[in-house]
Amino acid sequence: MGKSLCGAQKPAVTHRVPHPGFPLAAHRGPLHLDLSSSTQSLILNLSTTYTSLSHTFPVILVDSSIAMGSTALPYMATQPKLIFFTDFDGTITVDDSNDFMIDNLGFGRERRQQLNEKVLNETLGFRDAFREMLSSIKTPYDECIATLLKNMKLDPYFEKFYYWARDNNVPIVILSSGMKPIISALLEKFLGHKPGNHLHIVCNEVVPRDGKDINSEGGWQIQYHDESHFGHDKSIEIKPYAALPDSERPVLLYAGDGVSDLSAAAETNLLFAKAGKDLVTFCERRGMPYTTFQDWSTILSTTQDILAGKVSPADVATKSA
């Protein structure tokens, strides 16, 4: 896209452009394209206002550590006072869709728990463990999706939160270690329609294995979002927002249930950690502030209070011992 859009040499970096939901056609200001890689984010700053993709633009590469105006950031497009970042599996859904597939279509629960134990003991990286688990699933990808559509359930109050967020200018950004087609299919089924523009999904992808069709036996594999330990460093997406000056920075909230949510949570004002799950254990171990939730009704009422200025994120957070 860099080449056709800009008429310039494509930068020699792995990139994804633009952010999901980026309002390309409607955009009238300088265009910033996120080129996140494992160690850094580069921003393509197209310094000329553009009106069509056929123009040729000068391209300037700048480091993301340079302070950016909030208009460059896609989730700031509507100037929200609060952005809600969230995990998907086990947080928006009741059960984890990947665990379900591994347990029922792959090598099973016992082997999964053995590998999880190694991850918790830090003798095996999450990235390698998760790939091994998913590799045990030989079921064609479309059949995996069909199975999940029959078995996964949405948190009973997420839909209410979703519409409240839409009506109150609160972007929802799903940061997931799962794969895009599964998340999109589940959300569409749960909501009864494709998600609106206020919901964004940043996650891993699925790609063919050994030249096969993904909808054939043993034909697919996960493609990680980045080179990080978790396959998807969720904090990368949040950092530019956390770095905004005080006068521009919205309140940043995060909800999750697992170890891969820790890095993201550290960037936000308040972490909602699902009661009884690994993330609570990790927060306790590391002395990280958090508040627990059972379902999205708690998250909704607390977020409403924060947006209304009735409480601050610091008021809500419990500092663990």
Active site residues: 87, 89
Neighbours of 310 (CB within 10 A): 10
Question: Which residue in the set 237, 257, 267, 278 belongs to the binding site for Mg ion (CB under 5 A)?
Answer: 257
Between residue 69 and residue 88, which ones bind Mg ion under the rule CB under 5 A?
Answer: 87
- Tell me the per-residue interface mask from 95 to 114 with Mg ion, x by CB under 5 A, - otherwise: --------------------
Neighbours of 6 (CB within 10 A): 21
DSSP collapsed to 3 states, 213-258:
CCCCCCCEEEECCCCCCCCCCCHHHHHHHHCCCCCCCCEEEEEECC
Compute the least distance from the CB of residue 165 to Mg ion, in Å: 19
Question: Which residue in the set 74, 80, 258, 313 belongs to the binding site for Mg ion (CB under 5 A)?
Answer: 258
Residue with smaller CB distance to Mg ion, 237 or 257: 257
Compute the least distance from the CB of residue 53 to Mg ion, in Å: 37
Compute the least distance from the CB of residue 28 to Mg ion, in Å: 37
Closest residue to Mg ion: CB criterion: 90
Neighbours of 17 (CB within 10 A): 15
Measured CA angle at 151 (ends 230, 184), to 5 deg: 55
Amino acid at 209: R
Question: Which residue in the set 50, 82, 85, 89 belongs to the binding site for Mg ion (CB under 5 A)?
Answer: 89
- Tell me the per-residue interface mask from 177 to 196 with Mg ion, x by CB under 5 A, - otherwise: --------------------
Compute the least distance from the CB of residue 230 to Mg ion, in Å: 11
CA distances from 281 to 60, 200, 264, 277, 286 (A): 44, 28, 16, 7, 9
Distance CA 183, CA 201 (A): 8
Residue with smaller CB distance to Mg ion, 6 or 92: 92
User: Among the residues of the chain, which ranges form H helices?
Assistant: 2-6, 97-105, 109-120, 126-135, 141-151, 158-167, 180-191, 235-242, 262-265, 278-286, 296-307, 313-316
Binding flag, residue 278, Mg ion (CB under 5 A): no
* Piece of the chain touching Mg ion by CB under 5 A; list 107-115, 207-215, 237-245, 254-262: 254-262
| Site residues (vs Mg ion, CB under 5 A) | 87, 89-90, 257-258
